[in-house]
Structure 1
């Protein structure tokens, strides 16, 4: 397979025992786990650190038609909801990959809010004037400080939420390391308003939405993408119900590998039909066209 040979030449140590590939996770044991690789997202370049498992998988996906549901859900949501010229809020922007994907999908501007300085710096190095970087943690008030627990196993999942630290204790270790970072609210961001909010804030979603009261009232985004691992999704839905009464659980179907949007109850009853990914939700304004 041509794409497999291309992948081997760039990232792999050996192809022994691999004759057919469908998902990049099939290659975890043979993907190179050190060094960097530079790849393109649209017209932009991004440097990926192969020491991190998810960045190795991103590299595989960007180089081949391999599937990775945890990665593909973002691109599928963008294909469905991003419109030409959209302004995007990327909360918890990590290394800036989703920002580049938003631009490639037609967005004209992305405000990346990222609390960890080493990740913010990686976004700045992308060198695109359409990307702005705010080095802070989205929260319910600006000008305060929070202690963020740092993931030890990879550069995702860092959080100031104690419930998240407890649930994913394996990525923080017994001796949890923290970094103190400033906070900022959505309402205080000078680059708004935005057409889409992507909130990947690891347990801080309720705080973040409490810091967005004025924005939700005056200029609500067309859509909000976020993840929830617990029942706080119901509290979030209640808080945004006036501006975003339409709520969907998003998934990728196993039969046709397509994006599906179902109400939460319907998704729960048919969850076996979808690939396992972080529980992803879409909140829409009442004036959004019917899915």
Structure 2
């Protein structure tokens, strides 16, 4: 059985129009012109395996707790935010600088999602975000990501000017329990701008994607969040697995964006290590 079953089904899914799914109690309208949104449709409507979505869903099921207050940095259309609400979160603050994506995010019919049309970084500023031309994921403030994935941006990348702010600006007096970061190369800068937030005992878990490893990220975190892992789905069992963050990825790992877990939640890590996993 292939681990990404959506790839086989894509030729059968129409490539235009819309399809509405429900995550938890909230409807999300998918635009079928985007490949990954067609994959979301197959994943949610028919339970078809889509590793890029399933790895996040399993992480949220394990590490999001009932009542959690969450930050979603790089929220896109709100798919992950809705998964976190379904896992028990009370409120998700979603940060999405791309105007078209923010518009869709802000149309979700729930008061539990607060949408912000800003980027996040280490300080207050204005910056140009380079817009993905191949799909509506991957837009970045980072020229390094442009060099790593030129095919995503095309020969003449378009840009949008947006405001960027540090997380500490928003949450100077509000506890946060869980942070998800998918900001295409600005992961370290986001954490630098969250030093007050990172120092609070309420913050239990950070999940992030990084194509450049975690060396700089770990310098920023210091001795906070001592449980640090690279996360993957096992190709034999399709179960969520953890390995030390600084080791080469397991040969059994299904290909997804490089995903990392930083947490103080020993109880949830122990359950996962014992094989007490949720199923997609």
Contact map agreement 2:3 2:50 (CA 8 A) in 1: no
Is it true that 1:138 corresponds to 2:120 in the alignment? Answer: yes
Q: Partner residue of 1:183? A: 164
SS of residue in 1 equivalent to 2:11: coil
In 2, Cα distance between the equivalents of 1:192 and 1:90? 15
Aligned-residue Cα RMSD (Å) equals 1.7
Contact map agreement 1:223 1:283 (CA 8 A) in 2: yes
Q: Partner residue of 1:168? A: 149
Q: Partner residue of 2:110? A: 128
Decide whether aligned partners of structure 1 residues 186 and 26 sit closer, same or farther in structure 2, where only a CA change above 3 A counts. same
What does residue range 118-267 of structure 1 map to in structure 2 within 5 Å?
A: 118-142=100-124, 144-190=125-171, 192-219=174-201, 221-231=203-213, 233-266=214-247
Aligned counterpart in structure 2 of residue 276 of structure 1, from 224, 234, 255 = 255
Contact map agreement 2:3 2:254 (CA 8 A) in 1: no
Q: Tell which has more relative contact order, 1 or 2 (C-alpha 8 A, sep 6+).
A: 2
Structure 1 position 241, deviation (Å): 2.5
Using structure 2 for the length normalisation, give the TM-score: 0.91
For structure 1, which segment, 185-194 or 234-243, has the greater mean C-alpha deviation from structure 2 after superposition?
A: 185-194
Unaligned runs of 5+ in 2: 271-280
Structure number with larger C-alpha Rg: 1
Is it true that 1:72 corresponds to 2:50 in the alignment? Answer: no
Unaligned runs of 5+ in 1: 1-19
Residues 134-184 of structure 1: per-residue CA shift (max 9 Å, x gap): 110000112x10100000010000001010011110010111111000011
Q: Partner residue of 1:107? A: 89
Residues 215-237 of structure 1: per-residue CA shift (max 9 Å, x gap): 11234620100011124x11101
